[in-house]
């Protein structure tokens, strides 16, 4: 493995690695490549899930085969909310959307950790203007991993899906994600994406590392 990719992978904690494996599995199975893991205050695993929009089956209690089947929803689906204080950590490979931000707000989540940014959802975790009941607590903090190759990879996983929508891609280009989407286009047209889909996530990360560096530098603000 190239040293940059190997070092970055080794620097991740268990929840981050597990979320990336789940996100990659989602991509490999024709879903949108997003994975999420819920851990306890000591880092112990509580629950996990991945995107299952295209799936025809899922573990009991998880959502599949519907536009609602996002990774964070599935990670939260088997968490008994009343069994916990607001003390859990949700680690996700992609910045949560509006639906998932609301589910996170309903759940006993104290912190959201994001590996890959999704600028379309910037600020949507702040739901406090909605009602006084929601406003009784501050928004759940969202912690972003440093921008760079690994964060770019986490976002790229979600952009490789055949379920991508042109209007969303256009909006993402308008907010600066063009270099990453161009990389996805090149992987698609060269058929390299098919080759990568047959490899484990660490191998894909290694093979893409140099190009991720280029894309992330081009997107640095």
Binding site for Zn ion (CB under 5 A): 70, 97, 99-100
Q: Which is nearer to Zn ion, 7 or 81 (CB)?
A: 81
Q: How far is the CB of 218 from Zn ion (least distance, A)?
A: 26
Residue 183 Ramachandran class (φ > 0 left, ψ -120 to 50 alpha, else beta): alpha
Nearest alpha carbon to residue 71 among 45, 44, 53? 53
**Residue (18 or 36) nearer to Zn ion, CB:** 36
Residue 4 sits at φ, ψ, to 5 deg, of -60, -50
Query: For residue 119, which phi and psi values (nearest 5 degrees)?
Result: -60, -15
- What is the nearest approach in angstroms of Zn ion to the Cβ of residue 100? 3
* Pick 34 or 183: Cβ nearer Zn ion: 34
What is the dihedral sign for C-alpha 209, 213, 219, 221?
Answer: positive
Q: Which is nearer to Zn ion, 71 or 196 (CB)?
A: 71
CB of 53 to Zn ion, least distance (A): 10
110 vs 120, beta carbon nearer Zn ion: 120
The answer to whether the beta carbons of residues 53 and 27 sit under 8 Å apart is no
Check residue 139 and give left, alpha or beta (phi > 0: left; psi -120 to 50: alpha).
Answer: beta
CB of 220 to Zn ion, least distance (A): 26
**For Zn ion, which is the closer residue by CB, 12 or 97?**
97
Q: What angle do CA 10, 216, 38 make, to 5 degrees?
A: 45
- Strands 142-144 and 109-116 turn out to be parallel
Shortest distance (Å) from residue 15 CB to Zn ion: 18
Closest distance to Zn ion from the beta carbon of 95 (Å): 9
């Amino acid at each position: 493995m190239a040293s940059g990719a190997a070092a970055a992978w080794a620097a991740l904690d268990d929840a981050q690695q597990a979320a990336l494996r789940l996100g990659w599995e989602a991509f490999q199975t024709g879903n949108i490549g997003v994975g999420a893991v819920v851990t306890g205050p000591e880092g112990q695993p509580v629950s996990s899930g991945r995107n299952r929009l295209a799936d025809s089956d899922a573990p009991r209690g998880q959502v599949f085969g519907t536009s609602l089947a996002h990774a964070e929803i599935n990670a939260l689906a088997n968490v008994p909310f009343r069994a916990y204080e607001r003390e859990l950590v949700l680690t996700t490979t992609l910045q949560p959307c509006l639906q998932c931000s609301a589910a996170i707000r309903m759940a006993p989540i104290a912190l959201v950790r994001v590996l890959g940014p999704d600028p379309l959802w910037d600020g949507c975790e702040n739901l406090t203007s909605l009602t006084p009941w929601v406003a009784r607590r501050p928004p759940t903090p969202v912690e972003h991993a440093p921008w760079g190759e690994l964060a770019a990879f986490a976002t790229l996983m979600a952009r490789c899906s055949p379920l991508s929508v042109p209007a969303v891609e256009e909006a993402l280009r308008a907010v600066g994600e063009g270099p990453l989407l161009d990389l996805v286009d090149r992987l698609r047209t060269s058929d390299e994406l098919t080759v990568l889909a047959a490899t484990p996530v660490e191998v894909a990360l290694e093979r893409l590392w140099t190009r991720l560096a280029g894309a992330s530098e081009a997107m640095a603000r």
